Amino acid sequence: MSEQANCLQVEMLAELKKQTALLERMEKQQGLLIQALADDQAEDPDATPATYMDGSPCR
């Protein structure tokens, strides 16, 4: 019985490692997204936008 328990523990550890790797990957991608969104912000938040949301220039 202890051999089966050991096998189960090994399988659980492998799954936890996979899950941890996925979470770390998500964390990195979300960090990059947040940085990209921060870089995309206008320097003056009160300034009139130069483009509309569809990308066409404001007149």
In this prediction, residue 49 has a pLDDT band, given cuts at 50, 70 and 90, of confident
* The predicted structure's pLDDT at residue 44: 75
The reported pTM is 0.58
Which among 39, 40, 59, 41 has a CA at the least distance from the CA of 50? 59
Averaged pLDDT, 8-22:
97
Q: Are 17 and 23 in contact (CB under 8 A)?
A: no
What one-letter code names the amino acid at 3?
A: E
* The predicted structure's pLDDT at residue 1: 62
How many domains does the chain contain in total?
Answer: 1
Higher pLDDT, 16 or 47: 16
Gap between the Cα atoms of 56 and 6, Å rounded: 62
Which domain range does residue 35 map to? 1-59
| Residues contacting residue 58 through CB under 8 Å, at least 6 positions apart | 48, 49, 50, 51, 52
In this prediction, residue 7 has a pLDDT band, given cuts at 50, 70 and 90, of very high
The secondary structure element, H or E, covering residue 17 is: helix 2-40
